Structure 1
Amino acid sequence: MRLRQLAVVTALLPLLALPAHAEARDASRDTLPAGDGWAAQGPGTTGGAAADAGHVHTVTTRAQLVRALDGGSDTPKIIKVAGTIDANTDDAGRPLDCADYATDGYDLASYLAAYDPRTWGAAKPAGPQEDARQASAARQAERVVLKVGSHTTLIGVGAKAVIKGANLQVRNATNVIVRNLDLRDAYDCFPVWQPNNGGLGDWKTAYDNLWLSGATHVWVDHVTFSDRGHPDADEPTHFARNHLRHDGLLDITNASDLVTVSFSRFADHDKAMLIGSGDTATGDRGRLRVTLHHNEFRGIVQRAPRVRFGQVHLYNNRYLVTGDDHRYSIGVSTESAIVAENNAFHAPGHIEVADLVKSWNGTALQQSGTLFNGYPVDLLTIHNAYNSGSERDLVADVGWTPTLHTKIDSARTADHRVAREAGAGRLP
C-alpha cells in the first residue's frame, strides 16, 4: 500500500509544482508548426499571433464580428468566436431572410416566368427581373460577405463555435489562420439562371463558406464545412435543374498560394473544393501550392478536390462516399500535379474504384498507399484501364516531390485518426 501511495504522490509532483496562476495553452496564439505543408514555406504562417491586447476580440454577434474584422484590415488581430453567429441578421441582431433582401420588385415566380428557356431561349437573362435580382443579391452581399485581412487568426472558442450564412473571404491577403469553427450554410437567396451552362443550362450561386482569392500563407485547421440547415437536395427543381443555393465549401482560386488544410471536415455537399480558377487562368501557373492532410470528405458529390495548375499534396485523408449522386472525388484538371499518399476511401457496393478519379485536361497523378474499402488499390492504373476514352490517361510523373509535410501514416492508421480528430471542436 505504501508503495502505491508513493507512486501516486510521485506522479502528482509535476502538477503540484505548477504556479497557482498557470493556465492552459492559448490556442488563439498558435502558429502553423514548422514543416506542416505548403503554408509552412518561407516565413511560415502565424496569423494574428503578434496582435497586441487591444486587437484580441471575443465576439458573439455579427455586429461584433464585423467590427473585429475591421473591414479586412492588415492590422494583426485575433478574433475568438463564441457561440453561434448568424450573418443573416441586421445591426440589432434581428434575423433576416430572403424576403428581407428582395427589392425592386424581384419575385422568384416572376423571374421564372421571364426567363423560361421555352420562351426566353438561350440568351443571357436581361431586363427588369434580372436587374431586380442583381439589386437584391447586392443587398444580401452587404450582410453576408465578410472580409478577413492579413495577419488574422479567426478561431472558435470551445466545441460549439459556429458562423452560419456567411461568405468569409480572404482576398489578396496573407498570413491568415482559420481554426476550430463550424462554417455552414452560405446560402444564396438569388441564384442566377445561366442558359448555356453545361449545355442544358444551370443555376449559378454566389457564395462559398470560405473563399481564398489571391491569398497566400493560409492555414485552415479543425474546421467543419457543410450546408447544414438548407441542403440543396431539399430545394425544388426549376427549368429541369436543381435550384442550387450553395457554391463551394472551400475554394482556393485566383493565384492563391501556400495553403495548408488540416484536420477539417467537409460534409454533405455537391462541389466541395475547387483549386484553380479555370482552364484559361494561366496566371495560376507556379501558384496554387496546397497541402490537404488528415481531412474527412463525407457525402461529397465532387471536387474533393478538383485541381487546375496547382501542386497539391493530398495525404492521410478519409473519404466516405455515400449516395447515388457521387461523380468523383479527385479531379485532375489542366496542368495540375497531384501527389496522393495513403488516403482511405469507404464506398457502397455500387461505387467502383474507377469512380474516384476523373481527368479532364490534366494527366499527372502520383498515388501510393491508397485503401478502398480496406483493400489496397492503384488509382492511376485502374483509372486508365476503365476510362471510356472520354478522359485522358494519367501518368505518375508529376514533376515535383513534397518535402513539407507532417509524418505520413499508413492509410489505415490515418483513417482511424481522422475519424476521431477531424472537424471543429476537436483541437488537441
Structure 2
Amino acid sequence: MRAQKWHGHAIVRAVAVVGCAALALSVTGTSAQAGPRDLTRQTLAANDGWGSYGTGTTGGAAADAEHVYTVTTWAEFKAALAAGGSAPKIIKVKGTIDAVSEGCEAFAAPGYDFSAYLEKYAPEKWGLEEDLSGEPADSPEGLRRVSAANQDKAIKANVPANTTIIGIGRNAGFKGASLQIKGVDNVIIRNLSFESPVDCFPQWDPTDGSKGNWNSEYDTAVVYGSTHVWLDHNTFTDGSHPDSAAPTYFGMLYQQHDGELDVVRGSNYVTASWNVFTEHDKTILIGNSDSESTAAGDRGKLKVTFHHNLFSNLVERAPRVRFGQVDSYNNHFVADDSYVYSFGIGKESQLVAEHNAFTLPDGISPAKVLKKWNEAPVTAAGNRVNGKAVDLIAVHNAEIPGEILQSGAGWTPTLRTEVDPAKAVPGIVDHCAGAGRLR
C-alpha cells in the first residue's frame, strides 16, 4: 500500500514498485484480501465520489451464475444485455467488439448517394437560409434520414439496471458502439477501450452558424435520466478516425463524432475515475441544454465526480457543466495546440476543480483552462500548471476581463477518497489510468 504522502520524483518509482493495483486499492478504499480478487464483482467504495451516495453503486455484483455472460461479438453483447431483465448481471467482454463490422454501407438506404447529397445541398445552389427538415422521403436528405435511422438502431446498446460490464484482460473494448445508460439505476462500466462511433450519415444544416455546419450523432456513452453509475479504468478515443483526418465539404469540417461521455436529463450520482479521455473535440457534457423545460429536470441533480482521469489532447468540454454540483479533483490535463478549454462554466453550475495538474504547451495560457458560458460561481484551488501553483480564476479574470468568473461554488465536496497533492498527479494518473491497467 502506498504511503499517505508522495514527495518529488519518488512518485514514478513508487508507482512502478507497488503497481497500479495496489495504488487503486489505496485510493478507492477497497480492502486487500487474501487470494485473487474477483474484479468482476467489485463495487464502488464508500465515499468514492457522488456515485457512492445513498445506496451506492454495486452494478451486477450480486449476479448468480446464470446471469454472468462472456461475450466476443456485438450480437452476443446485445443478447446478454437483454437477457434477464433488470436482475443483477455481469457481462465480461473479451477482445475488441466492432458494432460496425460490415461498414457504413450496410446501413445505407437503397438509392442513397452522398455525391447526389453534396450536389443538391451545396450552398451556392441551396443557400444558407432554409434547413433540410422539409425535404421529402425520396430526396437525398430523406434517404440520409433513413440511413441514419438504420445506423441508430444497429449501434446503440441499452444497458439495464444492476449491470456490470467489464473488459477481461488488457485488450477488451468496443469500436463504433454507443452505450445508452438510460432511465436505470446501478451500472458499472470498467476496463474497456472505446473507439468513438463514427456517424456514417452526418446532416448538413445550412442554418447552423453563418456558413452552415455538419452535425453528427452518437455519443460513446450516454447517462440519460439514470442514477448511481461508475465508469472506471476505461479509455475513450477517436482511434483510427481522428477529426484531423476528416475531409471538408462546403468549406466545413465533415464532423462524424459527437461526445465521448454525456451525463444529461436529470441523471445523478455518477463517479468517473481512472479513465483516459483522449484525441477528441467535444468531450463531455454535464447537462445538455439551457432551456427552462430541461432545467426543471436538471436542477438539484447532475451530481458527478471526476477523479484520477487523464484528459489528453482534447479540444474542449472536459467537462462543460450545466446545473449540477460537479467535483473534479486529481485529474491530469495534457493539452496540444488544438486546445480551447477544459472546464466550461455553464448555467447554474457549481463546479469544484481542485488539486488537478495541467500540462500546457508553450503559447497556451492557463487563462484558457476555464471558459465562462454563463454566470455561475466556481471553486478552483490547489491546481498546478506545468508544475507551478496557479490561481486559475485569477489568471482567467486578469487575461479575459470580458468574462469575469466569481469564486466560490457554494458547496464543499465530502465524498472523496484520499486526495493527492497536485504535483503528484501526473506521475500517478499517467501510469495507472485507462483500460488494461485494472489489476
Report the Cα distance in structure 2 between the residues aligned to 1:298 and 1:175, rounded to whole angstroms.
Answer: 28
Q: 1:321 aligns with which of 319, 335, 347?
A: 335
* TM-score calculated relative to the size of structure 2: 0.88
State whether residues 99 and 176 of structure 2, in contact with CA within 8 Å, keep that contact through their aligned partners in structure 1. Answer: yes
- Tell me which residue corresponds to 2:276: 265
AA aligned opposite 1:124: D
- Tell me which residue corresponds to 2:148: 137
- Tell me which residue corresponds to 1:51: 63
1:269 Cα deviation after fit: 0.5
The runs of 5 or more residues in structure 1 that have no matched partner are 1-21, 89-94
2:384 matched to 1:371?
Answer: yes
2:212 matched to 1:208?
Answer: no
Report the Cα distance in structure 2 between the residues aligned to 1:72 and 1:226, rounded to whole angstroms.
Answer: 31
- Tell me which residue corresponds to 2:344: 331
Report the Cα distance in structure 1 between the residues aligned to 2:210 and 2:298, rounded to whole angstroms.
Answer: 27
Deviations 1:223-262 (A, max 9, x none): 0000101112111101211001110011111111100000
State whether residues 255 and 288 of structure 1, in contact with CA within 8 Å, keep that contact through their aligned partners in structure 2. Answer: yes
3-state SS of 1:298 partner: strand
3-state SS of 2:333 partner: strand
- Tell me which residue corresponds to 1:163: 174
Within 5 Å, give how 1:248-263 maps onto structure 2. Answer: 248-263=259-274
State whether residues 340 and 367 of structure 1, in contact with CA within 8 Å, keep that contact through their aligned partners in structure 2. Answer: yes
Distance change (3 Å), C-alpha of 1:73 and 1:246: farther
Deviations 1:329-377 (A, max 9, x none): 1110111010011100001111111111110113311011111111110
- Tell me which residue corresponds to 1:69: 81
3-state SS of 1:197 partner: coil
The percent identity for this pair of structures is 48
1:142 Cα deviation after fit: 2.2
Q: 1:123 aligns with which of 125, 130, 134?
A: 130
1:198 Cα deviation after fit: 3.2
Q: 2:356 aligns with which of 343, 361, 382?
A: 343
CA RMSD, Structure 1 to Structure 2 (Å): 1.3
Report the Cα distance in structure 2 between the residues aligned to 1:200 and 1:149, rounded to whole angstroms.
Answer: 41
2:117 matched to 1:102?
Answer: no
State whether residues 223 and 423 of structure 1, in contact with CA within 8 Å, keep that contact through their aligned partners in structure 2. Answer: yes
Deviations 1:73-116 (A, max 9, x none): 3221100001111111xxxxxx3111221113211111112222
2:238 matched to 1:231?
Answer: no
Across the two proteins, how many residue pairs are aligned to each other? 398
- Tell me which residue corresponds to 2:44: 32
State whether residues 67 and 84 of structure 2, in contact with CA within 8 Å, keep that contact through their aligned partners in structure 1. Answer: no
Q: 1:289 aligns with which of 303, 306, 316?
A: 303
State whether residues 144 and 201 of structure 2, in contact with CA within 8 Å, keep that contact through their aligned partners in structure 1. Answer: yes
State whether residues 169 and 436 of structure 2, in contact with CA within 8 Å, keep that contact through their aligned partners in structure 1. Answer: yes
Moved over 6 A (4+): none
1:23 Cα deviation after fit: 5.3
3-state SS of 1:199 partner: coil
2:407 matched to 1:400?
Answer: no
Report the Cα distance in structure 2 between the residues aligned to 1:328 and 1:73, rounded to whole angstroms.
Answer: 41
2:130 matched to 1:111?
Answer: no
The runs of 5 or more residues in structure 2 that have no matched partner are 1-33
* TM-score calculated relative to the size of structure 1: 0.91
